[in-house]
Amino acid sequence: MTTRRPSSWLPFLRCQQRSQYPYTSPSNSHTPRLIPTKAENILETGPSPKSRPLTEKEREFLQSAIRVNQAGELGANLIYEGQYAILKCDPRLKPLIRHMWDQEVHHLDTFNKLVAKHRIRPTALRPLWNVAGYALGVGTALLGEKAAMACTEAIETEIGGHYNDQLRTLLDMLKDDKDLLQNGELKQLMDTIREFRDDELEHLDTAVEHDSKDAEGYHVLFNIIRGGCKAAIWLSQRV
């Protein structure tokens, strides 16, 4: 899959000095990289021989969780890509959005690898999230810096809560289950979700610190975007 070039969509918004920001990887692509670097290889240790096999219900939960997380991280990447295309000329916001986008690139790469490793079917709605995520990023950035930050606040509130829900379910799965506690992959998945949850909540704090709540029509904007994000999560878990 080739990556779209947002600047060619909106040539009138180009900065004089064109951004050289690399998107996901040297291949500049959303497609999974199947050869993970050592630091990113969260599945290096497989389940211990002592760990029991997962039940059908547990397997379904994990497949659905990884699928929806990949979809969510793809959407987040495209939102930041859209915002960056519009706000990259702003010296205050450019490094901020770039930093958050950078973290989303790492999140997406990680879930791409998990999807590939476990042969999980990605959501069929991926093309829709491609368009909707980028349009949301561009649209809110065009409304202004504060609206862009309100978008970030709404998305990260929902995603942070979503990761917390997954952590609670995983903790319930492991609770009092000595066999499953030996499963190194599950433990690493929990550590990954915990780390990404913390990143998302940091993005939320950044948005609030940059006046998200002062955006015009903040409450309407926040609730519409958060509701859309919730619906996207619900759909991506199932379709």
Please state the residue numbers annotated as binding site for Fe cation: 73, 104, 107, 156, 200, 203
Interior/surface letters 202-229, b for 16+ CB within 10 angstroms, e for the rest: ebbebbbebebeebeebeebbeebbebb
Exposure on the CB side of residue 52, measured as CA atoms within 13 A: 11
Instruction: Please report how close the Cβ of residue 105 comes to Fe ion at its closest, in angstroms.
Output: 9
User: In angstroms, rounded to a whole number, what is the distance separating the alpha carbons of residues 197 and 156?
Assistant: 9
Measured at the CA of 229, the angle between CA 227 and CA 235, to 5 degrees, comes to 105
| Binding flags for Fe ion, 193-232, as an x/- string (CB under 5 A) | -------x--x-----------------------------
Closer to Fe ion by CB, 88 or 203: give it: 203
76 scored as a contact of Fe ion (CB under 5 A): yes
Instruction: Compute the 3-state secondary structure of the chain and give helix, strand, coil in percent, each to the nearest 5.
Output: 70, 0, 30
Closer to Fe ion by CB, 107 or 187: give it: 107
Nearest residue relative to Fe ion (C-beta)? 107
Instruction: Please report how close the Cβ of residue 108 comes to Fe ion at its closest, in angstroms.
Output: 7
User: In angstroms, rounded to a whole number, what is the distance separating the alpha carbons of residues 107 and 26?
Assistant: 16
Query: With the CA atoms of 189, 200, 112 and 115 taken in that order, what torsion angle do they form, in degrees rounded to the nearest 10?
Result: 40
| Binding flags for Fe ion, 140-169, as an x/- string (CB under 5 A) | ------------------------------
The interface with Fe ion within residues 16-75 (CB under 5 A) comprises 73
Closer to Fe ion by CB, 70 or 183: give it: 70
| Binding flags for Fe ion, 88-107, as an x/- string (CB under 5 A) | ----------------x--x
User: In angstroms, rounded to a whole number, what is the distance separating the alpha carbons of residues 205 and 53?
Assistant: 39
Size of the site for Fe ion (CB under 5 A): 6
Binding site as annotated, residues: 73, 104, 107, 156, 200, 203
Binding site for Fe ion (CB under 5 A): 73, 76, 104, 107, 200, 203
